[in-house]
């Protein structure tokens, strides 16, 4: 097959770890009004529920190490493969990366839970080693029709009008780095060349961009909103602290269990 500029087509979901995954899920679905993408359950080796952003999902995940950071933090990005898993592994190797051996989940049983059919069919995961590290990228190939599922994801977000903030989707995952050039090289090896006029922004066929910003700190999620005025009014009515900056609004992380969420008008 022809890969073009990247062995991956886009971001399928981001994994957010939290000491209390139930509280994080309730915050995103209850307070922010986002739809459920998949139910809270033990999915293979993780306890997780999914939150829908239309073009991308957030997995509210409990860390395996109970002594890890209790704050909600973006730990990993799941990428959609541009071809078969075997082709992706081969291409990653050609790019100087060290992909893990493919790991197949097998069919997933969800006892005492309403069946979420797409996930129950299983998936194959390949970790990307030797490239970006925070958040950790991995490639995930599902045993269901991802295009149909994305259509349903968008329909669920549209049905709730993006919640009280009027969220339209995830515009970008923002990664922080002291050395922007080195970090950009690491992401280029995985996802292809950055945008011509934005050397630290990587646009893909599906899902949000990956952007690199100078500095330290956990990754941030930049959400698009239909109207910034409506979003600001909603934040004020909910008592959500926020900081208005030149091109976005940053919600107070303390109100989001430490998660860095930013809002910007949809393009």
Query: Is a pLDDT exceeding 60 seen at residue 178?
Result: yes
Confidence at 3, pLDDT banded by 50, 70, 90: very low
Task: Quote the distance between the C-alpha of residue 95 and its chain's center.
Answer: 23
pLDDT > 70? residue 68: no
Name the residue ranges covered by the structural domains of the chain. 8-265
Are the CB atoms for 184 and 212 separated by under 8 Å?
Answer: yes
The answer to whether 75 and 136 are in contact (CB under 8 A) is: yes
CA distances from 11 to 30, 146, 178, 205, 257 (A): 24, 12, 24, 9, 23
Any residues with CB less than 8 A from the CB of 86 and at least 6 apart, and which? 102
Q: Is the dihedral of CA 156, 37, 149, 77 positive or negative?
A: positive
Q: How far is CA 154 from CA 36, 99, 150, 165, 203, in A?
A: 12, 31, 6, 16, 19
Separation CA 132–CA 177 (nearest Å):
11
Average pLDDT, rounded, for the chain: 89
- Is the peptide bond prior to 155 cis by the omega test (within 30 degrees of 0)? no
Taking the model in full, what pTM does it have? 0.93
pLDDT tens per residue, range 109-119 = 665 555 567 76
Question: CA distances (Å), 135 to each of 13, 39, 58, 131, 178, in order?
Answer: 12, 24, 14, 10, 15
Domain 8-265 has CATH 3.10.180.10: yes
**Is residue 153 helix, strand or coil?**
helix
Cβ–Cβ < 8 Å for 57, 37: yes
Cα dist. 262→130, 250, 252, 253 in Å?
Answer: 29, 4, 9, 10
- DSSP code of residue 198: B
pLDDT digits (tens, 9 = 90+) for 205-247: 899 999 999 998 899 999 999 999 999 999 999 999 999 999 9
Task: Encode pLDDT of 126-168 as tens digits.
Answer: 999 988 988 999 999 998 899 999 999 999 999 999 999 999 9
């Amino acid at each position: 097959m022809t890969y073009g500029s990247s062995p991956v087509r886009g971001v399928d979901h981001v994994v957010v770890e939290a000491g209390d995954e139930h509280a994080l899920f309730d915050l995103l679905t209850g307070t922010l009004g986002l739809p459920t993408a998949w139910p809270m359950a033990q999915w293979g080796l993780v306890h997780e529920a999914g939150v829908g952003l239309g073009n991308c999902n957030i997995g509210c995940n409990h860390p395996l190490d109970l002594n890890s950071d209790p704050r909600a933090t973006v730990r990993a990005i799941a990428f959609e493969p541009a071809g078969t898993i075997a082709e992706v592994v081969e291409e990653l190797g050609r790019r100087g990366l060290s992909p893990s051996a493919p790991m197949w989940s097998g069919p997933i049983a969800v006892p005492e839970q309403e069946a979420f059919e797409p996930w129950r069919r299983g998936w194959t995961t390949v970790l990307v080693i030797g490239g970006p590290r925070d958040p950790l990228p991995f490639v995930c190939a599902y045993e269901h029709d991802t295009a149909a599922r994305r259509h349903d994801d968008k329909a669920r977000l549209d049905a709730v009008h993006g919640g009280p903030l009027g969220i339209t989707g995830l515009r970008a995952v923002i990664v922080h780095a002291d050395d922007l050039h080195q970090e950009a090289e690491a992401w280029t090896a995985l996802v292809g060349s950055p945008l011509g006029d934005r050397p630290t922004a990587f646009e893909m066929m599906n899902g949000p961009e990956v952007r690199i910003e100078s500095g330290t700190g956990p990754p941030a999620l930049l959400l698009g909103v239909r109207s910034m005025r409506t979003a600001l009014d909603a934040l004020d009515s909910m008592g959500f602290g926020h900081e208005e900056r030149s091109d976005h609004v940053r919600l107070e992380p303390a109100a989001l269990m430490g998660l860095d969420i930013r809002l910007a008008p949809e393009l």
